Amino acid sequence: DAKTTQPNSMESNEEEPVHLPCNHSTISGTDYIHWYRQLPSQGPEYVIHGLTSNVNNRMASLAIAEDRKSSTLILHRATLRDAAVYYCILDNAGNMLTFGGGTRLMVKP
Amino acid sequence: DVKVTQSSRYLVKRTGEKVFLECVQDMDHENMFWYRQDPGLGLRLIYFSYDVKMKEKGDIPEGYSVSREKKERFSLILESASTNQTSMYLCASSSGANVLTFGAGSRLTVL
């Protein structure tokens, strides 16, 4: 199974943009890139997903490299409520999503 | 919004007890999942189901079983709880697009 690599932790200042990187060098042509986040004491929640083109929604933007071997989740203006663990996951359209360790984002006021 | 409801937020059980963790979703999703989450190990898939009465093993099914008698309900069963099953258990559901909606979690402590 294709795996993802993310930094263990990142820090950001409130109201600044945050770029969370993810490497997936063994991605296959049919793998979707999913991002989830987990706020303290809650289950993970879906953020965004994409295949080849960049994607935007109300929560975030997803920038996918042209060779698809990496992607970046962009939070345009971080708030204290964005402090969470962010997971980058590959989905090969099977039924199983495998979560790695994720990136713990800390947001400073 | 899709809701996934887990019956108990916190449980404390004794070694050897039978434990039922219940999960209900209200959006007619075909797929349902049980994960456990432990510090340093992330989320690991225990079992999933893609239809009523169907089940598939995930990465760590040993010591667990599941039941899906109705589409909206997916139960995780620990036949004889052990201390190494102390964990946070997370239920999720999805439609064909494979976007998961998780419940709030059930924190199980086995003494």
Chain B's closest residue to A90, CA to CA, is B98
Instruction: Please state whether B4 falls in left (phi above 0), alpha (psi between -120 and 50) or beta.
Output: beta
Q: Does A8 touch chain B (CB under 8 A)?
A: no
Q: Does A74 touch chain B (CB under 8 A)?
A: no
C-alpha to C-alpha distance for A66 and A76, rounded to whole angstroms: 21
The number of beta carbons lying within 10 Å of the beta carbon of residue A18 is: 21
- Per-residue pLDDT tens digits for B26-76: 989 999 999 999 988 888 999 999 999 999 999 999 999 999 999 999 999
pLDDT over 90 (residue B1): no
The reply to whether residue B35 touches residue A99, judged by beta carbons under 8 angstroms, is yes
Q: Between A52 and A96, where is the model more confident?
A: A52
Best-predicted range by mean pLDDT (A63-77, A80-94, B29-43): A63-77
- Per-residue pLDDT tens digits for B9-28: 999 999 999 999 999 999 89
- Contact A100/B42 with Cβ under 8 angstroms? yes
What amino acid occupies position B36?
R
